[in-house]
Amino acid sequence: MMYKVGMADAKVAGSGDSLRTLGLGSCVGVALYDHRLKIGGLLHVMLPASGGKTELPAKYVDTGIPYVINLMKDAGAQTRHMIAKLAGGAQMFALTTGSDIVRVGPRNVEAVRRWLDEMGIPIVATDVGGSVGRTVELFTDTGAFSIRTAQFGERFL
Amino acid sequence: MRGSKVDQSDWRNGVHLDRNAADMLREVGNIGAAHAATSLSEMLRQRVTMEVPRVEFIPFDDVTEILGGPEQVVACVYLRMQGEVTGSIFFIQTVSAAKQLMALLELSKDALAPFSEIEMSALGEIGNIMAASYLGSLTDLTHLTMFPSVPLVAVDMAQAVLNVGLQQDNPIGNYALIIHNSIHHHMAREDAHLFLLPDPGTQEALVRALGIEGLA
């Protein structure tokens, strides 16, 4: 069974199910996985910082990372057994002058790295940056993280 | 149906865009798009038609439905709307529709080849001219200054490129207010789309200005 994760959304799955989110641009897909229990979580964050807002915790990195970790814990996983894989954070539009909106992808990735580091969760694989849209899927039976792009087909992390 | 969609998000998010305001924005979209269509028609030397725009609050995850889903590969021109009302403008169409447009301008011989640099910059320029005439007519109408930034062009998954317009901090949650115009030129099998996404918070200024002008 495949579960869809929307924008500014996070879900947890196990039992061999998978989690998919479509068309990541500057957004980042954060996949968490606990090998021991074969439980995975997928977060689709849009912006680096919530600025104190509490509604839509999965929209922002600073609230989204703790949010998805808690979902994993609710499912029985422990933080010290979790690993992370990242995809997305692209800059879809090439630009000479550095507008903040256009450069949000790299800032998202930076924030995700910092927060995962803070939580003590190692990042074992990434496919981030560039200027390409990505669809990702986390398979909970193996922890494999599929990255699909319009131009280059599919690869696994 | 359209009215009820706006009302539904009113109810869900406490957004103050009543039917009256939606009608005004639709009128704005109509006038803006008519000017944009005229400039496209001049470029193509062809009749270009336009549907009555839709003004809707659409959940983020559904914004791409009109283009064929989140993973549909599209040719997208993105411009920031700057001035007293800010927001995002997208001139967006499927790759095959964009290739037809390029063929009309005698820029493309191969519908299957990737977009050349010339094609990308021509797309950007078309988007630029359309956005400028669209916003120019809004400025005439509202006396609020609005002008487009330089156009940025990308060919990729619809969701990935449209994201850039949905990132604004948004008091209404995961909904975007979209003024959507479908554009049809004589030779095309598929429509092109012009999306106007006023930033959350600035749409009121637009509505207010229109109210003073006695539209609606």
- Is pLDDT of A26 > 60? yes
pLDDT score, position B169? 65
Q: What confidence tens digit (pLDDT) does each residue in A56-93 have? A: 899 999 999 999 999 999 999 999 999 999 999 999 98
Q: Among A73-77, A97-101, B32-36, B77-81, where is mean pLDDT lowest?
A: A97-101
- Is pLDDT of B14 > 60? no
- Is pLDDT of B175 > 80? no
Binned at pLDDT 50, 70 and 90, residue B171 comes out as low
Q: What confidence tens digit (pLDDT) does each residue in B135-154 have? A: 988 888 888 899 999 999 99
The shortest C-alpha distance from B49 to chain A (Å) reads: 29
Provide the number of CB pairs (under 8 Å) joining chain A to chain B: 94
Whole-prediction pTM value? 0.86
- Is pLDDT of B123 > 70? yes
Q: What is the ipTM of this complex?
A: 0.89
**A27 included as an active-site residue:** yes
pLDDT score, position B214? 38
- Is pLDDT of A29 > 80? yes
Contacts 24+ apart (CB under 8 A), B41-44: B41/B185, B43/B105, B43/B126, B43/B129, B44/B101, B44/B104, B44/B105, B44/B185
pLDDT score, position B2? 37
Residue A32 CA to its chain's centroid (Å): 8
pLDDT score, position B91? 93
- Between CA B188 and CA B98 the distance in angstroms is 9
SS (H, E, C) chain B: CHHHHHHHHHHHHCCCCCHHHHHHHHHHHHHHHHHHHHHHHHHHCCCEEECCCEEEEEEHHHHHHHHCCCCCEEEEEEEEEEECCCEEEEEEEEHHHHHHHHHHCCCCCCCCCCCCHHHHHHHHHHHHHHHHHHHHHHHHHHCCCEEECCCEEEEEEHHHHHHHHCCCCCCCCCEEEEEEEEEEECCCCCCEEEEEEECCCCHHHHHHHHHHCCCC
The shortest C-alpha distance from A70 to chain B (Å) reads: 22
From chain B, which residues contact A within 8 Å (Cβ)? 60-61, 64, 69-71, 73, 78, 80, 149, 152-154, 156-164, 166-167, 169, 173-174
Q: Do B154 and A6 touch (CB under 8 A)?
A: no
Distances in Å between the Cα of B168 and the Cα atoms of B35, B46, B171, B213 are: 27, 37, 9, 28
Return the higher-pLDDT residue of A44 and B24: A44
pLDDT score, position B156? 96
pLDDT score, position B122? 92
3-class state of residue B210 by DSSP: helix
Let me know the angle formed at the C-alpha of A79 by A43 and A117, rounded to the nearest 5 degrees: 70
Q: What confidence tens digit (pLDDT) does each residue in B76-105 have? A: 999 999 998 889 999 999 998 899 888 888
Return the higher-pLDDT residue of A41 and B34: A41
Encoded tokens for A45: 């964050």
Q: What is the mean pLDDT of chain A?
A: 94
Binned at pLDDT 50, 70 and 90, residue B114 comes out as confident
3-class state of residue A126 by DSSP: strand
Residue B71 has its nearest CB partner, among A51, A94, A135, at: A135
- Between CA B170 and CA B164 the distance in angstroms is 13
- Is pLDDT of A99 > 80? no
- Is pLDDT of B17 > 70? no
Encoded tokens for A32: 């968490």
3-class state of residue A125 by DSSP: strand
φ, ψ of residue B87 to 5 degrees: the values are 170, -165
pLDDT score, position B212? 44
Q: What percent of chain B stands above pLDDT 90?
A: 25
Q: Do B70 and A22 touch (CB under 8 A)?
A: yes
